[in-house]
Structure 1
C-alpha cells in the first residue's frame, strides 16, 4: 500500500466506497401487491412516480457524506459526514440538522438505520482529512458505533483495531445487520469481516483470501477490497468487492464462502449497495476514475445467490455518486455528496439526492 497526495487519498476512498461505502437501502421491488393491483402495475406506478421527482438539494454545508439511509417511519434520510464525523437528519425538502455528534467518531462513513431496534449503526474511519483526524496516522481508526434513532445518544462505540491487534491499516467501509440484531462490518484494507453483537461486543467473523483486494488506485492504494455488504435471505452475507465481483458468505458456515457467478461484473469501483424488496440488490458504481456517469445496477439472484444477473438500470451524471437508498413512497435516490469539492479542498453548500430507476 502506498500513500501520496491528499487529493488521491480522498479520491481512492470515494471510489472504493471507502470515502464515498457503504451503503444504502433501495426501493420496492416488482412483487405483486394486495387487492387487484398486479406486480407489473405497481412497478409501472412506481416508475411513473420516479419520473416526476426532482433531485433533493440538501442544505448541509461541508457535510460531505459518503453514505446515507432512509427511515420510512419518520420520513427522514440520515447521512454521515466524512468531514465532521457527525450524522445528520435530512428531510425530503432538504433541511439538515445534526443528530449524532460523538467525539469518538472521527469520520462517519457507512450509515444504517435499524428501525427494529430504534438505532443507527455508523462505521468509524479516518482518512487523515476530517476535523478529528490524526493527520499523520491515517487508517488507524476502525470501528462501529450504535446510536439511539431519536436522540442520537451513543449506545456503544467499538474499536475494531483492538480486536485484531495486527498493527495494520484498516477501513470499515460498510455494515449490515441480521434479523437477530447481529451486525457485520467489512474492512476494505484487510480481508476481514467482523461480527458485533447487540451489546457492542466484537469478534473476527471471517478472514478469507476471497476477500483480499485486487483493485489498485493509482498513486494511492493497492489491493483495495471489500466495499459493501448486505444480509440477504437464506442467512447469507453478500459482499461487494471494489473490483466489481460479489462474494456469498453463509453465516452459519463462513468457511464455505464463494464468489457469486455474475452474468457481468458490476462497474468498478463498486461503491454501495442495498437490498430491494423483492430480494434483488441495487448497487452504485463510481465513475471517478473514468469521469463517466455513475452507474446504478440491479443484481437479481439465482440458485440461492450462487449466481446472479446484472443489468444497468440508470446513471447519475455526477461521477462521484457513492450510494443508493430508499426514499419516500417506494422511490429510490442516489447520493452525490459533493466529494469533488472535498477532493479540491474547497467548501461547499450541501449535497444532492437524485431519483433513479432500479428496474
Structure 2
C-alpha cells in the first residue's frame, strides 16, 4: 500500500496517545425512588426516550427518565390479587407494552398482559399461561420477547418451555426442546430456575438463557427447534439478555455482564469481554438504549423475595467500554505491534475479488437482492417480466416469468419480504411509462402473483421511471421511489397504494445539467428504527424519510456523492451507496441526521453498476448489469456479473485499517467499567 508521511504520523500518534493518555470517566448512575418496588426487568422505550421497569410487589409499570424521574404508566388493579410484573418488553411496531404477570398467591396461573404504549395505556389483552410446576423460585412465565409480527415469546423457568402468544393474545407452546434438559443441573440455590432471559433476533430465531445450567440456546421462532450454543467459557447463572445492533449479545448474571459475539448465526459464540457487577444489588436484567449503550438494572430482587419491604431506592447503571488504563505491555507486545505495522507496510494483503458471472441472453438486470433463506441472489430484467435466481456459482433459474403483465413490461427494483414470504418487484412498461406498478409474488414455489398495483405518473419516462426502487418494512408495507416526480409511494400489504411523501426537501437542491438530470429519487432502504433512507441521483443527495408521516430531510455528508443509485444497509449500520464509478461506505452516529463517507471503492463504469445488496456475514455485492447498453437498444449481451466488494474489514488494507487494528490491539484487555 502507498503510505505517506501523514499515514506514519497518524499511526504513531495513535500509539502514543493510547499509551500515554488513558481516558478517564465517572460512572453514569441513574438512581430512582419508588418504595417497595423491587423491579425484576427493564426495557427501553426509544420513542419516549425513557426506561420501563416492572415490580416484584405490585401490578405496576414505571417509566424512569435518564435523570431518575419516575412516572406510573400502568397500575392494573383489575389483575388477580397479589399479581406483579416480571419480564417487560416494548413492541415498537404495534405500539404495545408487554409484561409477564406473576401471581404470588397462585403461581401456577401466570400470564402475559399487553398494554397500549400510548396514554392512557389501556390493557389490550391478558392471557393466562398455566403451569402446575410454577413457584416463587421458578416462574411458569418469566421473561418476554417480541417479533416483528407482534408474536410474543415467554420463557417458562419451571418446566423449561417457551410459550408463543400471538398478536391477538392466543397462547400455545412453541418449544419443549429436549436440548433444554440434556445438561445435568448442579445443586445450587437456582437449580429450579431453568429458561430465563429471551431475545428475538431479526434473522428468525430466539436466544434464550438457562440459569441453572449456564447454557444459552438458539431456538427457531417457527418450529421451536432448539440447540445449545457452544461457548468458549461457562456462564454463571445467566439471567436477562439483550442484543446490540452490532450483533453483540449482552448476558447479565448476579456478578457479571458478559459480552458475547458470534460469526455463524449463533451456532457457537465467544465471550470476548465481561464486567464485574455488584452482586449485593442483585442485577437481573439488561437493556440497550440509544447508541447501543448497555444499562443494567439493580433491582435488589433477592431482598424482595425474602420479604423485605423497606427499600425505596433502586439503580440503573450504564456500562460502556473505555480505556481507563492501557493493558500492561511487555516487550513481546511492543515487538508484535511493530512487526505487524511493518508487515502491513511492506507486504500489503492481497486477495482476488469473488466474481459471480452468470449467463442470460438480453437480460440487462437493473436491480439485485439477496434471499437469505434460499441462499441465492434475485435479479430482474430491463427487457422482460422475468426474475432470476443466481447462485454463488453463477447458476441461474427463472423463478418468475409473468407473461400476464401488460405488453413490454419489465422489472426494475426488487426486494425480499422475508417476514411475509414475498418477492416484491417494480414493474415498468416501456410502451406506456406512465403506468408503472408494484407486483408481489409468493417467495415459495410456484411463486404465484399475489397482487399487481398500478402506480400512475404522467411524468414517467424511460429516463426517469415513475416507479423505480422498492423497500419493505416489518409489517409488509412497501415503499417505492418515483424518479420522475420525486415522491415516494406506499403500498400496504394488501396492495393498496398511496403517496407517502412529496417532501419539499426533495426539490430544494438545484439540479445540475447532466445526462441524469431527469432522474430524481432512486435507491431506497427501510431502517428498523422507523425511517427510510433514499438516494437522489440528479442532486447526489441522501434523505431520511419518516415511514409514517413522510417527513423528509436531507442527510448532511462530509463529501458529495456522484449520481448515487442503489442503496443497502449492513447489520452494523453502515450504508452502502452505489454509483456508476464508486461504492460509498457511509456511517452515522446520530440516526442519520448527518453521515460520514469513510471509504469508497472504485467500480467499473463501463459495466454500469446500478444496485448493491448485502449477503451473508455482511458481504457487499454489486451488480454489473450493463443497463446503459440495454437502454440504448443493444440485445447481444448474454453475460453479466455480480462482484463481491472487498473492504477494509475483509482484506483491502489501508492506513485506516492499521489504526483500527492498533486500537483493538491496545484495548484487547481493556477494563470494562461504568461511565
- Given the two structures, how large is their TM-score scaled by the length of structure 1? 0.76
Q: Which runs of 4+ in 1 moved over 6 A?
A: none
2:579 is the counterpart of 1:285: yes
Match of 1:86 in 2: 386
2:417 is the counterpart of 1:114: yes
Q: Give the whole-Å Cα distance in 2 for the aligned partners of 1:60 and 1:329.
A: 28
Which deviates further from its counterpart, 117-126 or 203-212? 203-212
Whether contact under 8 Å (1:338, 1:350) holds in the other structure is: no
Report Cα offsets for 1:137-185 as digits up to 9, x if no partner.
Answer: 4x22211110011222100010011xxxx63325211111111111111
* Structure 2 residue corresponding to 1:77, chosen from 362, 377, 382: 377
CA change 1:264–1:71 in 2 (3 A) is same
2:646 is the counterpart of 1:351: no
SS at match of 1:210: helix
Match of 1:154 in 2: 449
2:332 is the counterpart of 1:36: no
Q: Give the whole-Å Cα distance in 1 for the aligned partners of 2:549 and 2:369.
A: 29
Match of 1:232 in 2: 527
2:458 is the counterpart of 1:167: yes
Q: Give the whole-Å Cα distance in 2 for the aligned partners of 1:211 and 1:172.
A: 16
Q: Give the whole-Å Cα distance in 2 for the aligned partners of 1:304 and 1:313.
A: 21
Match of 1:272 in 2: 566
Match of 2:482 in 1: 187
2:620 is the counterpart of 1:332: yes
> Relative contact order, CA 8 A, sep 6+: which one is greater?
1
Q: What is the CA distance between 1:350 and its match in structure 2? A: 2.0
* Structure 1 residue corresponding to 2:600, chosen from 313, 316, 336: 313
Which deviates further from its counterpart, 245-254 or 68-77? 245-254
Q: What is the CA distance between 1:54 and its match in structure 2? A: 2.5
- Given the two structures, how large is their TM-score scaled by the length of structure 2? 0.42
Rg larger in structure? 2
Q: What is the CA distance between 1:316 and its match in structure 2? A: 2.1
Q: Give the whole-Å Cα distance in 2 for the aligned partners of 1:332 and 1:221.
A: 25
Whether contact under 8 Å (1:240, 1:246) holds in the other structure is: yes
Which deviates further from its counterpart, 70-79 or 326-335? 326-335
Q: What is the CA distance between 1:107 and its match in structure 2? A: 1.4
Match of 2:550 in 1: 254
Report the RMSD for the aligned CA atoms in angstroms.
2.6
Match of 1:301 in 2: 588
Q: Give the whole-Å Cα distance in 1 for the aligned partners of 2:557 and 2:417.
A: 29
* Structure 2 residue corresponding to 1:95, chosen from 358, 372, 395: 395
Whether contact under 8 Å (1:186, 1:193) holds in the other structure is: yes
Whether contact under 8 Å (1:341, 1:347) holds in the other structure is: no
Report Cα offsets for 1:205-246 as digits up to 9, x if no partner.
Answer: 11122223854665x664431011111132011111112211
Whether contact under 8 Å (2:353, 2:646) holds in the other structure is: no
Q: Give the whole-Å Cα distance in 2 for the aligned partners of 1:214 and 1:123.
A: 28
Report Cα offsets for 1:98-147 as digits up to 9, x if no partner.
Answer: 11112326110001011111111101123x3xxxxx1xx4x222111100
What are the ranges of 5 or more consecutive residues in structure 1 without an aligned counterpart? 1-28, 40-48, 129-133, 287-293
Q: Give the whole-Å Cα distance in 2 for the aligned partners of 1:118 and 1:109.
A: 20
Q: What is the CA distance between 1:333 and its match in structure 2? A: 1.3
Whether contact under 8 Å (1:295, 1:312) holds in the other structure is: no
SS at match of 2:405: coil
What are the ranges of 5 or more consecutive residues in structure 2 without an aligned counterpart? 1-244, 249-260, 263-268, 274-348, 649-675
